[in-house]
Structure formats: structure tokens, C-alpha cells
Structure 1
């Protein structure tokens, strides 16, 4: 009783601060099996994200023990006379406060009482459910991909499509798309899901798939959390390779670089031995950056210099490719790689190769994270900008941005790689540019307080605006990935022809507009009055 009284007092105090009239006993009557808390450390954690560019304190934080806890909370929000908002938070890797809420409850889907626990289709806590015969794994929506990988590898299988960084939640990446160098072949992660359990904005726990509640299924995939909270995902699996041949080659000519990338992704339908398993690329505009953690192949004793390679416009391009293999193909891996490389037009003396276990390749960015953490360079603001650029305009983007706006300074990796649009399902909520092929351009910069103006948060944020303005004025037709806008009109423009369907789905599955208000797409219904709107 004392604990309940203390919680009541704390929530009343918070509500008085922001001017709401929500009765806290609504929350106390939920009877959740997990933990509903207003502890300052929990609130502080939920107030920030990886971007470190915005802060929003929730009224309370829920650590659910089951999908039913999520149902109880959302039902309370949906049925409350005054109401409150609900945001699901995975591992906190949003960039612009997308998983935050000021006048509501944040559901911490990862860690806590749910950490390391998987969910059965019946919604009860169970052991990991890997079906080798049917080729799928059932997983709690807040589980991290690194833990999915570790568990499935025990059965000799693994998911088909990945993100570059594995310390992200399943529900988080499926709410966006989930992309990496395998997307040209298998599509994004949202193209490799058989089934979902979703708690809608009305507090309904529904199982959905292509055949069951298909409208909700397609809405939630890439839906930015607007239509429901993913509590279970059934992920497609394939036999896991044992090792990876990891290769990087350099280009000084952008046309040759993109021509080779587009050729490699055109092989997606070929037998395994006739194609690479992963195709990515990066742009190097800073002489010092070529030898950094993203380019760990290059020896510190013999650093590569942009000037020595005849870079066009002072810019180099790095093609990054892999070939998976195991004991049965170890005798042919050299010949397969050589045959593919012969068809590419890179700088002949720039081949850098290493072999490593499959899990080490997939988890490669985490090792970089540990290095950056040791230097105090991880928990800094991240003004990232991720864009989908149509193939028809990628050369214009190169000229205007890589060789123009960026100059010769950057403070983080710049990724660029093409994907096949036919690997994406247009029925999902994601929007992509026109054309059969489009590129991801990811400017993954970090703002550093070093006294160098070009590394400051203000400089990089302004540069992002300049890039977006350039694309708009040049009519390049980019689409933001992990999008961030501040007005609904910008969201309408982002979704274009899909806006009508997106809005219709919102009214069907979250009619009071209580979910994921940190995305700033829809204002909560009139009874909600968040100070940030």
C-alpha cells in the first residue's frame, strides 16, 4: 500500500507540473505483472535517445512482463476520459526523439524484466521458439537482433536480412524497414517477416500476417509505430554460413563505382556462387577518415592517401562486398571471388581482404562502438541524415553534395549503396523513390566539442538542412529514411500518394492518436494537450 501511495503522489506531482488532469489511479488499477515506475533514473533514460538532440520526460515508464501488460496500458490510455499518450521504446537508438513522449508513458520494450526472454505465439513466456523445419523464429518485439542471432546460430540458422548494427530491437527496425548490404538480395527486414502480434492504439492484441488482418500487418511494417506496438515477430530464417570473405576495393571515379554496384545487385536472382552476399559502399571525403574504424582494413603503418589515388574532386569511393562460405565451399571460395572481381572496374592495387566468422562480421560495428566508448566518442549528439536517392539522380547528388556541400571534412561514415525496389512490398507503410533501383545515402556524423566548427552540432545540423534544400531545389526526389519532420504538411509531402492510405490506417488502428506522438505526424485528439505541440 505504501508503494502505491508513493507512486500515486509522484504521478500527481508530475501531472500537476505539466497541467494535465489524468487520474493516476487509472494507471495504478492496471495490475501489470511488470513494473510501472516514475523512478527518476528510468524517466531520465526514457527522456533521451541516441541522437541526444531532444529531451522529453514521460509521466511514467512501463517495463512490461508480457504482451498483456502492453494491452492493459494502451487500453487505459484509449479508454481514459482525459487520456495520455504511449510510446514504445526499443534500445533507444532513435535520432530525433521519435520514441519520446512528454504527456504519457514510455514502454521500455528491451531489457529489464523482458531481457533475454522470448515470447511464444500464445503470448506466454516460453523458451526460444526456433522452428528449423518451417524456417522461422518467434521473438519478443523488444529483443535485440544480436540476441536473435546468438540464439538462432545454436540451431545452425539465422535471419536473412540485417542492419549494420545489431544492438537494435526487432520491433524498432521493423517499424522503419531494417536495411543493410543484404537488402539487394533478400529485401529489407520488413520483407522477411511471416507474422506479427500487435497491440493497436485501441488496446487490441491482434495476430496479423499476409492472410490474417493483412491491413494491420502491412500498416505496421515500416509504420513508425503509428498503428500498433509489435510484441511478437515471426522472422524468416536460412542456413547460417560459418565464415565470410570480406573485401573492400577503392574507386576514384563515381560512375565506375555506381555502375559496378548496380551490376552486383542485378545478380540477386543468380545461384549463390555467382553473386556476392552483401553489397555496400562508402564515400571518403576526408583524407584522415579513410584510415578510421569504418576502414579498418587499411594498415596504420601504411595509410592510404586520397591524393595518391587520383581521386576525382578529392573524393574516393569504397565498395564493400562479402562472400559467405563454410567447409563445403572452402575449396571454391577463391575462384568464385576472383571471377566476380574480374568484372569490376576498381583501382587495381586497392583490394583489401580479410576472412572472419559470420557472427563477427555481422557484429562488426559493435566492436567499433566499444572503441568509440573508450574514447568518449559514443555518447555524443548524432545529427544523422539518411536518404533514399533515385538511381537516375545519384550522379547529381554526388556532384552537389559529396563534391560540393561537404567540402573535404566530415565527422562520421558516409554510406552509399543501391537496392532493388522489387524486393520491397509497396503495401507496407514505407515510401521509396521512383525507379527500379534506389540508393541509400547515410551521413552518420557525430557532433564533437573539439573547437572545430565543422564538427559542431550547429554546423552539421545546418549542413543537413543545406543538403535537403539542395535536393528540393534540384528536384532530386529523395525520401528520408528514419524520417523526421516538424509539420504535418511535410509528412503529407513525404508520403505523397500514400498519405491517404496512411491517414486512413491511423484512423482505423489508432483513432485517438495516442501512439508514437514523438514522430510528430499526428496531433493527439483534442483531450491531449502536449506542451511540445
Structure 2
């Protein structure tokens, strides 16, 4: 058999591996070329019982790993199967009359009929060159190797020939991964953790998880999948700290890369006139904070939650209350190391491979996996003055926010929150803040009201306290908040930046952290924010008990329009984040179904009112929706995809592009 294979495929390396699978063909009048795999046969109408089993031999040349899957040798051996038990391994034991003994002559005749019907297929194109005789000889030898050929058409529940329970190109692709030489390793079992994320809404189980110990591991894996071409079903998703919401870091039956395995790569802090830190794409921002503080430095732009990976936030934007001053995190990167969808390791920056650099920043993981980043640093303060005030009118609240982000000498951090029908807001603040006027604060009530909280921070060092207090006094005098709601606190810089982690620990202790989080993040243009607030905060939402609603403006001028991130086309736009948590099994207003319905109402209103809104951390289900989201940038986005990930291997969980798979 091997000699004949060698004659058909002169370049084939031996030993080779054979995979044998069963497909079904339905005969009604004449044999149809359309086939059904045995895993799908139960869904196929087989009333007349004229089913033909097709045993397919797939030959994979492991020695020549660059042999694409579409070069497999596929040979079919039909036989009559008037019963179903062979296909389903005794799942259906209905017996019918036994067929006549298998005859080799009609067997070969029927094989030639199938081959004539499929002469155009790539997998059998070699038969066009007078190789039918080779096939006949090969079938004779193959059948002679089967201990009990007649059992192929018997009424026994199992045939002598063992058929894998499931066969497709993924099986072959996964087997080939075991031949790769890596510093890290693959895990093929117990990977359920890779099918979970913070959102807890989607759970797609991967076929394998790569735990890389070097960038080469990632490059080798992706390059291997790329060389297998479109016949391989494998896709790849980079998974950091799994804080995605909609399954974006998952890969159904693909490969998930555990990026946190790269944290062992040492951070390198460089001081000087333009300080920076080189970090792994799998490094957590909280670790970067602690390491850079040793040098009196820190990144300039943050996210509210620091237990996120560098690659994760840079693939989106990375936004917090400092963004009005320094832009998002993607605006504070000097250089990236990226593994593209071809497996190439590329260093890029504004001056080197700039197109890839801007494509990856905010690119939702579509063009490459960030394996290393050079982050801009600035002087780190020791302390912060943390201030909260309340407003009863949205127009006054938004006007003051816009004033602060447009002022030369302003706060270092500006955010806001919406509170609808919340009781005891000021009492909740007292655990960490002190009222400027305790007597007046005691008289204030928030019950049944919609109130807007403005949160501000001023950085300072201990020897700057006097100057800092005067600056704050001047800034507050320009605002129109409710005087009795002024609360202040002084904490360390680290304590402020890591504030959400404190809440996380409390929620974990109550078992309320790993619940569904149907978050919705929107970017709304300044000119339409009042219309948005009136409808959403006035009609759609009745309370904010399911989680905080964050709202604050940012300056478009601080955002680089060369990146892949899509924002509203105005000088100022607002981030509005609905950070809801759903209670498992609840059917009430705190349940998942209610919150998802509420989110849909908000999105439907934005579309109907034509607000010009864009989703941040976007999630869409159709190609058309993604095209609308990117608008005029869609053509560039698609062109970049075809350049850096032409097979659509990367980030399948975003559901933007689908990998084209050729079946044999």
C-alpha cells in the first residue's frame, strides 16, 4: 500500500499516518455526489434505506509539515449499508434484511462512478492522469487488510473496522501541534477555564490551550496553522486576564494562548528625558505600576481596573479619567512587538512598520498578538486628593465636566456617575470620605432622585500640600454642584489607582464577582449627550441598583485617529458605561434577561435617534453591523486584515471575520 501511495505521491515522506473515517451517500435513482459525515447522518432523511458508506483514507505527511491539508490523499470505498447501526455504534439497532455478500466487481464499478462524479475536486485531481488502475489495486490491498470484510455490511452493531467517533481537519491539525518544538507546552484536556471570561455570557471550549514561555512559541504555533492553509479549521485567540465581556478572548474548537504565561519575561524600566518601560503583552498593569514606582515613575494613562493585561487593553483603547489629558493607553505607546496572523514577529512603531503599529492599537486583536510593548512613563506622585460632589441637573453636571477637561490647569482625573433612585448615597461615601460641611450633609437626601456624581482627583507630593489645596479651592469655585454634597479624601497614589480591586475582593467574598456581567459601553458625541441622557436616564432606566453607570467626556484631540479605534466625529465625546451585574437564576429586574432587554432598548434608541454613537469594546453579530460600526474606516480595516491575517486565524471571538475552511 505504501509503495502505491509513493507512486501516486512521489514526494511523500514515510512513515505516514493514516486517518480513516466514514461518510454516507444517499442513492435514489442514481448516486448523488453530496455526502454527509456520520456525525450528521441522524439529521438526514434515509427512509428508503439506500445508504452507502464511504470509508475515506486521509494521508498526512508529518515529515513534510508544510504539506497543506488539501493535498491529502482521499480514496473512497463504498459499500451497501441498508441499516444504521454501523454508523452510530449501536445507537440504532433496528434490523433489516441482510444484504447480499459483498462483491468486489460492483464495488470497483461504483467507485469509478463516484470518481467520475467528483473528477473536478482538488483532492482527487491526480486521478485524471490515468491513475484509476492504481486506485483499483490500492482498494484490493486495502480490503485484504480488513480482517472481516463482510462485516462492513452485516447487521452487527459494530464493524471490525474501527471508525473514529469524530473526524475532521481539526483532529489532524491538533495532532500536528504535538510535533512542534516549544519552550512552553499545549494542554489538550481540562481547558474549561479558557471558555470563561468576566462577562460570563459565552462559553466556547477550545481544542487546546498554549502556555508559551517565549514569543517564539506563539510565532511557531501561528505560523504552523497558517501553513496548513484554509483546510485547517483552527483559529487562535490571545487570552490575558480574561476580563472580556462577550467571549472575545475565546476560540471555539481553536487554540487559546495563555498570555499570562509570558509574565516571566522581565520588565525593563528606562529613565531619562523620555522614560519608558518594556513589558510583556501578558503583563498586568498593576505589576507595571509597582515596578515603575521603584524608579519614581508610572504610566500616564490608566484603566479603572488594573488587573488587566497590556495586550488586552491596547487591543481596545484603555480608558479612564486621565484620558482627557493624556489620551487613552493606546496613545501612550512608543513601540510594539507583534506576532501577525502569518506567524511573523514584527517590531513596529510610528516610524517602523507604522501601518501595523496603528492597526494593532485598538484593532481588537485582528491583525496580530501583542507580545511586547514599550509604554511611556511620567513622574509618579505620592498622594492624591480625591473629591466627590453631586448634581441634580444633567445639563449643569455635563457643563462642569466639559469645563474641567478643557481647562489648562485642571484636575488630573475627571469621571462621573449616574445614580437613579438610590438611598443613602452620602452615607455610603462616609466610609472613605469626609464631608466638607457635616451638618449640611446630614440634611441631604437622595431617595427617589436622579443625581449625578462628579469625581475628581488632584495628584500631589507631601511637600506640595499647601499649593494643591489652593488649586483645588480655585477649581471648585468654578463649579455649580450641590454645596452640601462636597466630600474629600486623601489617599496614596497606589490606593487610588487600585480602588476597584478593593471592591472586587468584597464582591468575591460574597460570591458576587463571578456572575454574568452584561456590560454596555458607548461613546456618545457631545452634541447629542443631552438627548441621550433625557431618554435613557429619564425613561429607560428606573434605578441603578444593578451596577454603576459611568459617564465622562474626553477630548478627541488627545486620541490618535490613525489607530483602528472608532470614535464619534466630534471634538468632545462621552464614555457612558453601564456596568451591570446579573444575579444567576433571577427572573426579576436584577436578572440577565431584564438587563439584556434594557441594553437593547438603549441601543435601539441610539439607532432610531441617529445619535452618531459608537460602541466601545464593541460587540456585533453580523458582518453588516461591523461594517456600519467602522463606517468609512471599514475598507482600511479589511485591507489591513488581508495583509496581516489573510486567513482570519486571529481573534475569532470578536465575530468580525470568519475563517474560510475548505472541505475535501
Q: Same fold (TM over 0.5)?
A: yes
Confirm or deny: 8 A CA contact 1:306 1:315 kept in the other structure: no
Confirm or deny: 8 A CA contact 1:287 1:306 kept in the other structure: no
Q: 1:228 to 1:310 in 2, by over 3 A?
A: same
Q: 1:395 to 1:306 in 2, by over 3 A?
A: farther
Q: Distance in 2 between matches of 1:376 and 1:441?
A: 27
Other-structure match for 2:502: 367
Confirm or deny: 8 A CA contact 1:291 1:303 kept in the other structure: no
Confirm or deny: 8 A CA contact 1:14 1:59 kept in the other structure: no
Matches within 5 A, 1:2-41: 16=166, 20-40=170-190
Other-structure match for 1:308: 445
- What secondary structure does 1:332 align onto? helix
Q: How many angstroms does 1:17 deviate by?
A: 7.2
- What secondary structure does 1:73 align onto? helix
Q: How many angstroms does 1:132 deviate by?
A: 1.0
Match of 2:248 among 98, 101, 120: 98
Q: Distance in 1 between matches of 2:589 and 2:164?
A: 39
- What secondary structure does 1:80 align onto? helix
Matches within 5 A, 1:437-516: 437-449=572-584, 451=586, 453-516=588-651
Match of 2:267 among 119, 128, 132: 128
2:239 aligned with 1:89, yes or no?
A: yes
Match of 1:341 among 458, 476, 486: 476
2:205 aligned with 1:57, yes or no?
A: yes
Q: Distance in 2 between matches of 1:447 and 1:302?
A: 37
Other-structure match for 2:325: 185
Q: 1:513 to 1:344 in 2, by over 3 A?
A: same
TM-score (norm 1): 0.89
Q: Give per-residue Cα distances to partners, 1:496-516, cap 9 Å, x unaligned.
A: 000000000000000000000
Q: 1:14 to 1:130 in 2, by over 3 A?
A: farther
Matches within 5 A, 1:368-383: 368-383=503-518
Q: 1:304 to 1:413 in 2, by over 3 A?
A: farther
TM-score (norm 2): 0.72
- What secondary structure does 2:170 align onto? coil
Q: 1:18 to 1:362 in 2, by over 3 A?
A: farther
Match of 1:276 among 384, 405, 411: 411
Match of 1:397 among 521, 528, 532: 532
Other-structure match for 2:343: 203
2:457 aligned with 1:322, yes or no?
A: yes
Aligned length: 498
Q: 1:225 to 1:528 in 2, by over 3 A?
A: farther
Q: Distance in 2 between matches of 1:27 and 1:289?
A: 58
Matches within 5 A, 1:144-163: 144-163=284-303
Q: Distance in 1 between matches of 2:416 and 2:508?
A: 25
Q: Distance in 2 between matches of 1:455 and 1:178?
A: 28
- What secondary structure does 1:16 align onto? coil
Confirm or deny: 8 A CA contact 1:77 1:86 kept in the other structure: no
Q: How many angstroms does 1:29 deviate by?
A: 1.8
Match of 1:235 among 375, 390, 394: 375
CA-atom RMSD, angstroms? Answer: 2.5
Q: How many angstroms does 1:295 deviate by?
A: 8.7
Match of 1:266 among 406, 416, 428: 406
Confirm or deny: 8 A CA contact 1:248 1:352 kept in the other structure: yes
Q: Which runs of 5+ in 1 are unaligned?
A: 1-7, 119-126
**Which moves more between the two structures, 73-82 or 443-452?**
443-452
- What secondary structure does 1:33 align onto? coil
Q: Give per-residue Cα distances to partners, 1:38-79, cap 9 Å, x unaligned.
A: 131xx1110111111111010100111011111011101111
Other-structure match for 2:111: none
From the CA coordinates, give the structure whose radius of gyration is larger: 2
Q: Distance in 2 between matches of 1:93 and 1:180?
A: 16
Q: 1:302 to 1:474 in 2, by over 3 A?
A: farther
Confirm or deny: 8 A CA contact 1:252 1:309 kept in the other structure: no
Q: 1:291 to 1:101 in 2, by over 3 A?
A: farther
Confirm or deny: 8 A CA contact 1:386 1:443 kept in the other structure: yes
Larger relative contact order (CA 8 Å, sep ≥ 6): 1
Other-structure match for 1:44: 192
2:220 aligned with 1:72, yes or no?
A: yes
Match of 1:138 among 278, 282, 287: 278
**Which moves more between the two structures, 301-310 or 392-401?**
301-310
Q: Distance in 2 between matches of 1:59 and 1:343?
A: 58
Q: Distance in 2 between matches of 1:431 and 1:14?
A: 47
Q: Distance in 1 between matches of 2:388 and 2:184?
A: 47
Confirm or deny: 8 A CA contact 1:386 1:440 kept in the other structure: yes
